[in-house]
């Protein structure tokens, strides 16, 4: 047998399996209630519309839908995206400032490939999205954590870290930020703080990588302007959008918006990744957008998820023992639960799984796994009955660990 371990590249040493992806394998276990994945409610998928548009697209335009497409994205789809970004974010774009990606995860990989050589410094939130940490890690990034509070990443902590990096004679390649209903905590950065953070990025000569998949899933409160719009086209920001949370994740479709020279670089690197993102999914999504179906669909899921969040908070209030607290997000798919410091949520997970309930351990969202007494709960996927029963089971697991 070939001992291929001697042949492997260094990236294998740096990469480890995602806790969430591994946990998802358990979610088929009979009777298990999962608050683990960041999955949309499958009962809300627009199945009839997709079936309709898929059928007419394949029948009428097989030469586009079933053929290889352009790496930048199908021009007619990109045209719809430009319209959408203008309508929703009041941002003016040209075709050169946008590239279609196989959803945001590929965008994270593309940006990492473009900017990170092994050992390069980037700044990430404490905590932040696990899949981003995984992408940055695979390129050997030297990740430095920035503290957060109930309103997301702290500008003061960001300044301290940027100053330290500058004093050491180094540069920060980019600051990774999930500004709206952050995965994992559900927090949103207010616009005044965004302005300060953008100023800091400019002052210290770095970029902001804005990743905002949950932006449109707002239940209450005020819409906060994107970093990209605040930057007014000065090319200090790269923004990633995805259709995974507002339409369907199965299409694996998203897009990056940024300076045209960067978009060109992403395009060249994407060529060797997958040639192009699925033309048939782009064509169907284009028809869906053209028919004006996206906004009503988003309204529908906002209504469902907002009720599910309320149901989860009510269940937490009903069942959790004293000493446990949680965030109160104004949108998104997640809330963040903190248990007393002496409880390690990684060690508690087997007892939760025994109770047939799953969550994601909080430490997985820290680049240095430094915090152990927290967990992420998703409220979009489970049914209302499962939310109540699942939180009851989770509370039983917590109670068994509380002193
Ligand atoms: C902050 C963030 N970025 C990116 C992604 C990746 O999503 P997708 O690749 O489906 O667009 C997720 C998924 O949960 C996420 O929460």
Upstream peptide bond of 285 is cis (omega within 30 degrees of 0): no
Last residue of a domain, one of 290, 324, 356: 290
Which atom of ligand 1 approaches the CA of 253 most closely?
A: 11
CA of 125 to the centre of ligand 1 (A): 15
Give the number of domains in the chain. 2
Kindly list the averaged pLDDT for each block of 10 residues, start to end, along the chain of length 403: 86 77 72 93 97 97 96 98 97 97 98 97 97 96 97 98 98 98 97 98 98 97 97 96 98 98 97 97 98 98 98 98 96 97 93 93 93 96 97 96 89
Q: Are 93 and 237 contacting, i.e. CB atoms less than 8 angstroms apart?
A: no
Which atom of ligand 1 approaches the CA of 108 most closely?
A: 4
Mutate to test the pocket of ligand 1, among 213, 241, 255 (most ligand atoms within 8 A of CB): 213
Residues contacting 224, CB < 8 A, separation 6+: 179, 180, 188, 189, 190, 191, 194
* 16 and 162 belong to one structural domain: no
Q: Which domain holds residue 131?
A: 48-290
How confident is the model at residue 257, as a pLDDT? Answer: 98
* 233 and 316 belong to one structural domain: no
CA of 323 to the centre of ligand 1 (A): 31
Tens of pLDDT, residue by residue over 343-365, are 999 999 989 999 999 999 999 99
How confident is the model at residue 20, as a pLDDT? Answer: 67
Mutate to test the pocket of ligand 1, among 18, 183, 334 (most ligand atoms within 8 A of CB): 183
What's the rounded Cα separation, in Å, for the pair 7 and 84? 47
Nearest CA residue ID for atom 13, ligand 1: 38
Upstream peptide bond of 21 is cis (omega within 30 degrees of 0): no
CA of 104 to the centre of ligand 1 (A): 5
* 372 and 249 belong to one structural domain: no
CB atoms within 10 A of CB 244: 21
CB atoms within 10 A of CB 379: 26
Q: Are 224 and 331 contacting, i.e. CB atoms less than 8 angstroms apart?
A: no
* 36 and 57 belong to one structural domain: no
Last residue of a domain, one of 245, 262, 290: 290
> CA end-to-end span of the chain, whole Å?
53
Q: Which residues line ligand 1 (CB under 6 A)?
A: 38, 103-105, 129, 131, 178, 183, 211, 213, 242, 244, 249, 254
pTM above 0.85, yes or no: yes
How confident is the model at residue 24, as a pLDDT? Answer: 67
* CATH classification at residue 262: 3.40.640.10
Mutate to test the pocket of ligand 1, among 23, 101, 104 (most ligand atoms within 8 A of CB): 104
CA of 270 to the centre of ligand 1 (A): 18
CA of 178 to the centre of ligand 1 (A): 10
Last residue of a domain, one of 290, 309, 336: 290
* 251 and 306 belong to one structural domain: no
At CA 361, angle to CA 194 and CA 241, rounded to 5? 40
How confident is the model at residue 16, as a pLDDT? Answer: 75
Alpha carbon 279 to chain centroid distance?
Answer: 23
Tens of pLDDT, residue by residue over 149-171, are 999 999 999 999 999 999 999 99
CA of 6 to the centre of ligand 1 (A): 33
How confident is the model at residue 179, as a pLDDT? Answer: 98
Q: Are 335 and 312 contacting, i.e. CB atoms less than 8 angstroms apart?
A: yes
Residues contacting 131, CB < 8 A, separation 6+: 18, 20, 105, 108
* CATH classification at residue 352: 3.90.1150.10
Which atom of ligand 1 approaches the CA of 249 most closely?
A: 10
Mutate to test the pocket of ligand 1, among 176, 242, 247, 377 (most ligand atoms within 8 A of CB): 242
* 161 and 52 belong to one structural domain: yes
Which atom of ligand 1 approaches the CA of 212 most closely?
A: 1
Cα four-point dihedral sign 23, 316, 313, 335: negative
* 347 and 285 belong to one structural domain: no
Which atom of ligand 1 approaches the CA of 182 most closely?
A: 1
């Amino acid at each position: 047998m070939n001992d291929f371990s001697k042949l492997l590249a260094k990236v294998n040493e740096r990469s480890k399996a995602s806790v969430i992806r591994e946990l998802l394998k358990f979610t088929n276990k009979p009777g298990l209630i999962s608050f683990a994945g960041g999955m949309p409610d499958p009962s809300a998928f627009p199945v009839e519309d997709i079936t309709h548009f898929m059928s007419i697209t394949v029948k009428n335009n097989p030469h586009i839908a079933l053929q290889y497409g352009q790496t930048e994205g199908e021009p007619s789809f990109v045209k719809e995206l430009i319209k959408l970004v203008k309508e929703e974010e009041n941002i003016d774009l040209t075709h050169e400032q946008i590239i279609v990606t196989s959803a945001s995860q590929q965008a994270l990989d593309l940006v990492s490939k473009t900017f990170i050589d092994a050992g390069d410094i980037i700044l990430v939130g404490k905590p932040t999205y696990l899949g981003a940490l995984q992408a940055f890690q695979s390129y050997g990034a030297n990740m430095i954590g920035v503290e957060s509070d109930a309103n997301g990443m702290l500008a003061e902590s960001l300044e301290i870290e940027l100053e330290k990096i500058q004093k050491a004679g180094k540069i920060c390649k980019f600051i990774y930020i999930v500004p709206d209903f952050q995965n994992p905590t559900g927090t949103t950065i207010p616009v005044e703080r965004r302005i300060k953070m953008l100023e800091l990025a400019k002052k210290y000569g770095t970029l902001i990588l804005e990743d905002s998949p949950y932006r449109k899933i707002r239940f209450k409160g005020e819409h906060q302007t994107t970093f990209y719009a605040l930057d007014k086209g000065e090319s200090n920001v790269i923004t990633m959008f995805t259709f995974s949370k507002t339409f369907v994740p199965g299409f694996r479709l998203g897009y990056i918006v940024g300076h045209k020279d960067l978009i060109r670089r992403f395009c060249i690197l994407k060529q060797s990744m997958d040639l192009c993102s699925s033309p048939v999914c782009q064509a169907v999504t284009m028809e869906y957008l053209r028919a004006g179906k996206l906004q009503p669909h988003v309204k529908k899921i906002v209504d469902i998820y907002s009720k599910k969040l309320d149901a989860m908070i009510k269940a937490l209030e009903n069942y959790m023992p004293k000493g446990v607290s949680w965030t109160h997000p104004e949108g998104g798919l997640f809330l963040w639960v903190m248990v007393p410091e002496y409880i390690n949520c990684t060690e508690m997970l087997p007892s939760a799984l025994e109770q047939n309930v799953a969550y994601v351990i909080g430490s997985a969202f820290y680049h240095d796994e430094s915090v152990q007494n927290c967990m992420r709960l998703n409220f979009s996927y489970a049914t209302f009955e499962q939310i109540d029963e699942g939180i009851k089971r989770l509370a039983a697991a917590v109670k068994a660990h509380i002193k």
